[in-house]
Amino acid sequence: GEDVEQSLFLSVREGDSSVINCTYTDSSSTYLYWYKQEPGAGLQLLTYIFSNMDMKQDQRLTVLLNKKDKHLSLRIADTQTGDSAIYFCAEERTGFQKLVFGTGTRLLVSP
C-alpha cells in the first residue's frame, strides 16, 4: 500500500516544542522527507532522513525514524509563530522516481 498518514492538526504555544508524527507502510522506502507549506506557497523541503538512520538533527529540527514501527516524527524546538504552516511527510521508495505524501499536519503556533 501507499498510505502515509499524519494527524491533521496540532496547536502549540510559542516557545514550546512541536512534535509532528507520520506513519508509512512501505518498508522499502529509502528516504523520508519533511516538507513545509505556507499559505499560497509551494512545498519547501525542510529535511530528510535516510532509511538506515534513526535520528537526524538540523538546528531546531530533529527527525526520528523508527523503521520497525514505520514511524517518523519531526520535532521543532522553540516553536515560533513563523513555523505555522502545513507539514507534510513523504516517502521515496526504492526504484521509483516519486514521492508519496502524507495528508499533512496543520501546525498553529499561538503567541
Residues that bind other proteins (CB under 8 A): 4, 31, 33, 35, 40-45, 48, 88, 90, 92, 96-104
Nearer to other proteins, 35 or 79 (CB): 35
Q: Residue 48: count other Cβ atoms within 10 Å of its Cβ.
A: 16
Q: Are 89 and 61 in contact (CB under 8 A)?
A: no
The region that residue 95 occupies, defined by phi over 0 for left and psi between -120 and 50 for alpha, beta otherwise, is left
CB of 43 to other proteins, least distance (A): 4
**Least gap, CB of 103 to other proteins (angstroms):** 6
